[in-house]
Amino acid sequence: MRDSLPKTIFLKDYQVPEFFIDTTDLHFTLNEDSAVVRARLAIRRNSASSSVAAELHLMGQELKLQSIAIDGQPLSKADFEVTSEFLIIPNVPDEFILESVVEILPHKNTSLEGLYKSSNLFCTQCEAEGFRKITYFLDRPDVMSVYTTTIVADRSKYPVLLSNGNNTEKGVNGDGTHWARWEDPFRKPCYLFALVAGDLECVEKGYTTLSGKNVDLKIFVEAKDTDKCDHAMSSLINAMRWDEEVYGREYDLNIFNIVAVDDFNMGAMENKSLNIFNTSCVLAKPETTTDAGFQRVEGIVAHEYFHNWSGNRVTCRDWFQLSLKEGFTVFRDAEFSSDMGSRTVKRIEDVTLLRTVQFSEDAGPMAHPIRPDSFIEISNFYTVTIYEKGAEIVRMIAHLLGEADFRKGSDLYFDRHDGQAVTCEDFVKAMEDASGKNLIQFRRWYSQAGTPLLTVSGSYDRDGRTYTLNVEQSCGPTPGQKEKEPFHIPLLMSLVSASGEIPLNILGSDDEAGRPRGEMVLDITESKQQFIFTDIPEEPVPSLLRGFSAPVKLSFDYSRDQLMFLITHDTDGFCKWDAAQQLGVRVLNDMVSFYQNDEEMLVDQRLLDAYRAILNDNDLDPAMVALILALPSEAYISELSDEVDVLAINAARKSARKIIANELQEDFWRIYKGHSNNLPYQPTCDQIARRSLKNCALDYLMLLEDGSALESCLAQFSTSSNMTDVLQAFIAIINSPHKDKKQTAIGDFYDRWENEPLVINQWFMAQALCSATGTLDDVKKLMNHAAFDITNPNKARALIGAFTSQNSVNFHQPDGSGYRFLADQIIVLNEINPQIASRLLGPLTKWRKYLPSSQQLMKVELNRILAISDLSKDVYEVVTKSLAV
Ligand code: B3K
Ligand code: ZN
């Protein structure tokens, strides 16, 4: 247990900074066993601060102070105090130059926060509070400064020296070192500072903005990876053009650099003009990267680029406002990806993530509003709620305002706040001011946590030709928030009959101008509302929450026949898919009961009929067919259950898939053969769709007891030239009962790809996700494999993360061995990398959802973690919140 309890920080305590730092001049000397950082800061007292005579408190962690001076006068020990978190100087003038020299140890920095080494590369990660591990500073986003950075390093080991802005000077020293000076003309918070030094090659291209500015785009990677940069480069160019066309935002410097590093805590980082990327989010080529990988690169390259406006030019006042930049930027990247590929497929993928991971966060001990009220460690709040739910809130604003007014709102936001550090409130206000719409009630989405539930019922009056919808909303308690006020929920809906959407008129209203006929948004603002539609010629089936128009749960007591009807007749792609999901959920829940009651596991014939019809519908996008045919995931069924019976859910889904495979095998064979081709790989929407359907068919066919698909699967594994097909076949083989083939495939895969770390991560993950019994032992063995390294976050996530968060049946073993394994790893990672430790802890924190026997075992492990000394703030916050009553 820690000596002193970590402090909670509250949004309500926000105070403007007592000092500003107008300019920041940094000088780095990078040595093999240390780095020396000289900082020259022009500091001035903020007249708007109420503490006019305040002492100067600069944040700093793990810094060895060598000297400090004010206006050229060295300070003596009596003039300042150094604590584990601050440098405190009691007496300072109103305006002065502070010079400090500190020594830091990048090669020992395994937290990957601040300045650290990834293989032979020096690199930085400063968001959220990593800059304080580089030098003493006012490490808060509302302190914005103009940066100049000089880097000195060995010339042969670190030929490339990069920082933000423009390279204004460089030179060679007589001692084997060289130096470069970078100047960033834009004021920025220190979390956007970046430095890279290493032996890198670059792939470059020119780009001309719509107004004619030339920009040099460079992607820096290790020499062996230069053949994997084309996709990131074209994604970057597409994103730059898209932001100009859709948001009127141009890039603002002549240089935009991306650097790929192996060791990185998350996907990428939007440092001004020097984005640093996890290799897994930038490198791609068909032989080594799956379709999902290509799409991830496109989305993340765009996301980081879009931050140049939503995050960098207009930044956050404090970290409670994180969703201001993240929610908005995720919305922007999702729209970009939709425009580049299939809008419906992208929407279904995003909603799937939201419904499984975010809804479960909202229902768990770490639930928080998209603008949290408090935190202990901000790194714990880079969550699906801040990002994905945050994006949903922006999406709702975009729908409520309509395209033209939303664009006016974003223009006003960027123009009004350019160069400022602002709040979510400023964003909403700009949207209101530009559109004239009232978003007062809508603001509750920013302050209330939890997933609202919409309970809807409908009835048709044949004589009166009316259809009545009754809508009720509620939202369960979340930590610190017992009662919730009603949300403003836009419910996009239509009424569907066999002949299509029925034109909608609401009794007592005529305000549907501008909406497409047959579809309308109902503004749900009260706990209970009724809507009566007139002139309805026949009994319709309501199509509700079209396009997933709000991040809510929806309950409508559809009959299974009505769901079948929506699967074939709904004109909204999302609702069509969702009807199949809902039918799938019912069927799986039936099967869970059969399993629990020891009854025969049967699949409702209607699901089989629906799937057969979908498989034979040639008008459907193959990607949609694959998405519909993927039964609801175990994670989704678990999220919907009050008490998760892991074994029963796993058994139900497995049996259902087998039965589907048997019943529809002819269709699956037709699809598998019909979609196999030898076209050269391209990550196009059309090809990706065809591969996803083909591999969905293969997956089912591999469940056939006669083993008739094994040969095709083995052939696909060994002869396919793209990783999507190779990996899908590999996964199918290792999950099959053919143990000898499994072992051979594992060995062959490794031998073939041992020099490609990103592919080996996929290899680790595929094995970690194997549903066979005994996988925990395999994972433990793999932890000792030469290619595994727990200090590398990608590897820790691929093996430990995948096993504990996605392999439920093996993680939740009744003897608690899965829980013990995770706690052991958390204890190790707590020392190495607290952010990763805290993130991997997730599966244990959801203990309340499981059967009582599991709950006990999970709590034992949480308490074991809590008892260790030197528990990081990151892990402490998550464990204590999870155990709190
Ligand atoms: N802004 C970064 C995330 C930083 C996470 C720090 N723990 C990447 C992104 O969202 O674009
Ligand atoms: Zn972001």
Q: Which of 127, 258, 261, 281 to mutate to test the pocket of ligand 1 (most atoms within 8 A of CB)?
A: 127
Dist CA 423 CA 315 (whole Å)? 8
Task: Compute φ and ψ for 739, nearest 5 degrees.
Answer: -60, -40
**Which ligand 1 atom lies nearest to the CA of residue 379?**
7
pLDDT of residue 676: 82
Centre of ligand 1 to C-alpha 683, Å, is: 26
Q: Which of 112, 116, 133, 269 to mutate to test the pocket of ligand 1 (most atoms within 8 A of CB)?
A: 269
Arithmetic mean of pLDDT, 797-815 = 98
Name residues whose C-beta falls within 8 Å of residue 151's C-beta, 6 or more positions apart in sequence. 28, 30, 161, 162, 163, 179, 180, 182, 195, 197
Instruction: State the chain's maximal CA–CA distance in angstroms.
Output: 96
Q: Which 3-state string (H, E, C) describes 134-181? A: CCCECCCCCCEEEEEEEEEEECCCCCEEEECCEEEEEEECCCCEEEEE
pLDDT of residue 516: 42
Centre of ligand 1 to C-alpha 581, Å, is: 32
Dist CA 70 CA 100 (whole Å)? 9
Catalytic residues: 304
Percent of the chain with pLDDT over 70: 99
Of all protein residues, the one whose alpha carbon is nearest to atom 8 of ligand 1 is 269
Of all protein residues, the one whose alpha carbon is nearest to atom 3 of ligand 1 is 269
**Which ligand 1 atom lies nearest to the CA of residue 387?**
10
Arithmetic mean of pLDDT, 831-852 = 98
Q: What is the mean pLDDT of the chain?
A: 97
pLDDT of residue 2: 56
Question: Pick from 524, 567, 508: which is nearest to 543 by CA?
Answer: 567
Q: Worst-scoring range by mean pLDDT, 102-116, 160-174, 510-524?
A: 510-524
Instruction: Calculate ∠ Cα 14-385-129, nearest 5°.
Output: 45
Give CA separation, 645 vs 138, 259, 604, 638, in Å: 49, 45, 21, 8
Q: How do beta strands 214-221 and 255-261 pair?
A: parallel
Question: For the segment 709-723, what is each residue's pLDDT rounded down to a tens digit?
Answer: 999 999 999 999 999
**Which ligand 1 atom lies nearest to the CA of residue 128?**
6
Dist CA 499 CA 543 (whole Å)? 14
Ligand nearest to C-alpha 332: 2
Question: For the segment 527-578, what is each residue's pLDDT rounded down to a tens digit?
Answer: 999 999 999 999 999 999 999 999 999 999 999 999 999 999 999 999 999 9
pLDDT of residue 498: 94
Residue 463, pLDDT above cutoff 80 = yes
**Which ligand 1 atom lies nearest to the CA of residue 265?**
7
Centre of ligand 1 to C-alpha 318, Å, is: 14
Arithmetic mean of pLDDT, 137-163 = 99
Question: Pick from 746, 741, 751: which is nearest to 764 by CA?
Answer: 746
Arithmetic mean of pLDDT, 816-841 = 98
Q: Which of 326, 328, 332, 873 to mutate to test the pocket of ligand 1 (most atoms within 8 A of CB)?
A: 326
**Beta carbons within 10 angstroms of residue 99's beta carbon:** 18
Of all protein residues, the one whose alpha carbon is nearest to atom 5 of ligand 1 is 127
Centre of ligand 1 to C-alpha 656, Å, is: 39
Of all protein residues, the one whose alpha carbon is nearest to atom 1 of ligand 1 is 269
Arithmetic mean of pLDDT, 59-73 = 98
Q: Map tokens 């970078």 to a residue.
A: 182
Centre of ligand 2 to C-alpha 173, Å, is: 39
Q: Which helix H or strand E contains 197, and what residues bound it?
A: strand 195-198
- Ligand 1: lining residues by beta carbon, under 6 Å: 127-128, 265-266, 268-270, 303-304, 307, 326, 379, 382
What pTM was computed for the model?
0.98
Q: Which of 191, 266, 874 to mutate to test the pocket of ligand 1 (most atoms within 8 A of CB)?
A: 266
Of all protein residues, the one whose alpha carbon is nearest to atom 4 of ligand 1 is 127
Of all protein residues, the one whose alpha carbon is nearest to atom 7 of ligand 1 is 379
User: What b-and-e string marks burial along 498-537, b requiring 16 or more CB atoms within 10 Å of the CB?
Assistant: eeebbbbbeeeeeeeeeeeeebbbbebeeeebebbbeebe
Arithmetic mean of pLDDT, 45-52 = 92
**CA pseudo-torsion sign 244, 249, 255, 258:** negative
Of all protein residues, the one whose alpha carbon is nearest to atom 10 of ligand 1 is 326
Residue 348, pLDDT above cutoff 90 = yes
Of all protein residues, the one whose alpha carbon is nearest to atom 6 of ligand 1 is 127
Arithmetic mean of pLDDT, 617-635 = 97
**Which ligand 1 atom lies nearest to the CA of residue 378?**
7
pLDDT of residue 503: 94
Centre of ligand 2 to C-alpha 622, Å, is: 31
Centre of ligand 1 to C-alpha 128, Å, is: 8
**Which ligand 1 atom lies nearest to the CA of residue 270?**
11
Of all protein residues, the one whose alpha carbon is nearest to atom 2 of ligand 1 is 269
Ligand nearest to C-alpha 128: 1
- Structure tokens of 757? 């770390």
Centre of ligand 2 to C-alpha 333, Å, is: 10
**Beta carbons within 10 angstroms of residue 672's beta carbon:** 22
Of all protein residues, the one whose alpha carbon is nearest to atom 9 of ligand 1 is 269
**Which ligand 1 atom lies nearest to the CA of residue 125?**
6
Arithmetic mean of pLDDT, 491-503 = 96
Give 132's DSSP letter: G
Arithmetic mean of pLDDT, 278-305 = 98
**Which ligand 1 atom lies nearest to the CA of residue 303?**
11
Question: For the segment 258-275, what is each residue's pLDDT rounded down to a tens digit?
Answer: 999 999 999 999 999 999
Ligand nearest to C-alpha 127: 1
Centre of ligand 1 to C-alpha 270, Å, is: 7
Arithmetic mean of pLDDT, 746-772 = 98
Centre of ligand 1 to C-alpha 127, Å, is: 6
Centre of ligand 2 to C-alpha 267, Å, is: 9
Dist CA 393 CA 405 (whole Å)? 16
Ligand nearest to C-alpha 301: 1
**CA pseudo-torsion sign 495, 497, 502, 505:** negative
**Which ligand 1 atom lies nearest to the CA of residue 127?**
6
Q: Which helix H or strand E contains 337, and what residues bound it?
A: helix 322-340
Centre of ligand 1 to C-alpha 419, Å, is: 20
Question: Pick from 817, 725, 732: which is nearest to 769 by CA?
Answer: 732
pLDDT of residue 510: 60
Percent of the chain with pLDDT over 90: 97
Arithmetic mean of pLDDT, 61-69 = 98
